[in-house]
Amino acid sequence: MLDNTIYNERLDTMNDVKISARGVNVFYADTHAIKDVDVDIKDKMVTSFIGPSGCGKSTFLRCLNRMNDTIDICRVTGDIRMDGQDINAKEVDPVQLRAKVGMVFQKPNPFPKSIYDNVSYGPRIHGMARTKAEMDEIVEKSLRRGALWDEVKDRLHAPGTGLSGGQQQRLCIARAVATEPQVLLMDEPCSALDPIATAQIEELIEELRQNFSVVIVTHSMQQAARVSQRTAFFHLGNLVEYGETGQIFTNPTDSRTESYITGRIG
């Protein structure tokens, strides 16, 4: 943990910062996977993490909602604050953090239950609905946000696993937004999908930006360029460059970034 003076020194004094990370290091047993990374995630914006495989972008993403806690050998140091509150502090319940920072995974992973049960699971465990009607309302709203409502409204009690790959992923997004998170983390959400489904998801991300800050890890530079306002480039565990998406793609300051986006490394 960094002490407060260093923290203040490094803190960008911007009001619209949702999550700010300072001096984050991650170790898998003896492997140093993330090396001293500083990032500010801004509110109501899409931030994308790009970089070659194994550069640590997914690992870093998982730090933001403490999913790395579930891996025994993984150790995280450094300071990550959400709205100024240290998320790794002892008094923070990781479970509540994850309700505020939702996550969508690489492979669509709906529960082998009905569509309705998939979406209502989060609200149920967080006690968000008092009545069945309220729950129905949440489910409908979330499915609409996930741009899935029209396709599934007649078969809410059909199994979620019966949907197509793209629909499953949108179901997972609807499921994640049902808990009313403030930040939505997406770990390569389109890598298992075909181009049409990918386009639908990208469209959805743009809409989600109205209500959430979205952080997306992607392999596709085109996708990063299309959907995000800010981009971070990771390489070998280092954050090489972070800035406005347009600037990163048109006028990178670091030579490694340039090599990557022009396809010479990665």
Residues that bind other proteins (CB under 8 A): 65, 67, 70, 72, 93, 95-100, 102-105, 107, 109-112, 121-122, 125-128, 130, 172, 175-176, 179
Of 129 and 199, the one with the shorter C-beta distance to other proteins is: 129
Of 96 and 262, the one with the shorter C-beta distance to other proteins is: 96
Instruction: Report yes or no: 39 and 52 within 8 Å, Cβ to Cβ.
Output: no
Of 33 and 103, the one with the shorter C-beta distance to other proteins is: 103
**Least distance to other proteins, CB of residue 30, Å:** 15
Give the full edge-to-edge strand order of the sheet including 101-104.
Answer: 101-104, 183-187, 213-217, 46-50, 230-235, 238-244
CA dist 80 to 7, 66, 140, 152, 260, Å?
Answer: 10, 10, 34, 38, 27
End-to-end Cα distance, the chain: 32
Of 54 and 112, the one with the shorter C-beta distance to other proteins is: 112
Of 187 and 241, the one with the shorter C-beta distance to other proteins is: 187
Instruction: Report yes or no: 25 and 32 within 8 Å, Cβ to Cβ.
Output: yes
**Least distance to other proteins, CB of residue 98, Å:** 4
**Least distance to other proteins, CB of residue 232, Å:** 21
Residues 76 and 55: their CA atoms lie apart, in Å, by: 16
Tell me the one-letter amino acid at 199: A
**Least distance to other proteins, CB of residue 177, Å:** 10
**Least distance to other proteins, CB of residue 187, Å:** 9
